[in-house]
């Protein structure tokens, strides 16, 4: 099974940060927020906020749990594990960068958009993903992808992050 290393992930996060700095250079007025989808997207979002801040471009940080907004909730036999969303700012007129670890069918991103609308009316929402596995079932496309793995659409992409999994890599 091929693997993307911790070092490659770190380089990708640096490139991602550079992209955000270039694309949102005018967002220094406090209207930029990086919002991660729990549980791996929020870790990536936190890392991006730290890197942006170190580069002199502070951004708000938020995390959202999409569990109750999933379109397959009634198909799951057991009770879902709920986690807290954390958006300690108004999203009205904000530019939100929605961050997830793996984009595949687009259903998670759709659910995340529903959650975001509960918090206000952002000026813009961009979807940024660490990996794109392909296999869309909904017409959702990312604005930024660090690793395009769409050639493995029949396979599985597994992201491990140190803060959650105790190791860091991507296997596919």
What's the average model confidence in pLDDT over 86-90? 93
pTM above 0.85, yes or no: yes
Residue 76 in tokens: 């799951």
Query: Does residue 77 fall inside a structural domain?
Result: no
Query: Does residue 49 fall inside a structural domain?
Result: yes
Query: Does residue 56 fall inside a structural domain?
Result: yes
Query: Does residue 78 fall inside a structural domain?
Result: no
Query: Does residue 7 fall inside a structural domain?
Result: yes
Helix, strand or coil for residue 51? helix
Whether the per-residue pLDDT at 53 is higher than 70: the answer is yes
What confidence tens digit (pLDDT) does each residue in 54-82 have? 999 999 999 999 998 877 655 555 666 66
Whether the per-residue pLDDT at 110 is higher than 80: the answer is yes
Residue 94 lies in domain: 3-22+31-70+83-171
Q: How many domains does the chain have?
A: 1
Share above pLDDT 90 across residues of the chain, in percent, rounded to a whole number: 79
Helix, strand or coil for residue 46? helix
């Amino acid at each position: 099974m091929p693997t993307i290393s911790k070092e490659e992930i770190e380089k990708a996060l640096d490139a991602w940060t550079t992209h955000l700095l270039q694309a949102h250079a005018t967002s220094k007025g406090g209207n930029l927020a990086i919002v991660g989808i729990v549980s791996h997207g929020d870790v990536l979002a936190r890392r991006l906020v730290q890197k942006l801040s170190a580069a002199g471009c502070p951004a708000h940080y938020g995390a959202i749990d999409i569990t109750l907004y999933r379109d397959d909730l009634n198909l799951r036999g057991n009770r879902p594990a709920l986690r807290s969303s954390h958006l300690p700012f108004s999203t009205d007129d904000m530019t939100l960068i929605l961050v997830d670890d793996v984009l595949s069918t687009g259903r998670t991103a759709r659910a995340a958009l529903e959650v975001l609308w509960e918090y206000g009316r952002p000026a813009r929402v961009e979807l940024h993903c660490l990996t794109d596995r392909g296999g869309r079932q909904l017409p959702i496309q990312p604005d930024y992808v660090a690793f395009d793995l769409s050639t493995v659409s029949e396979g599985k992409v597994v992201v491990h992050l140190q803060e959650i999994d105790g190791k860091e890599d991507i296997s596919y």
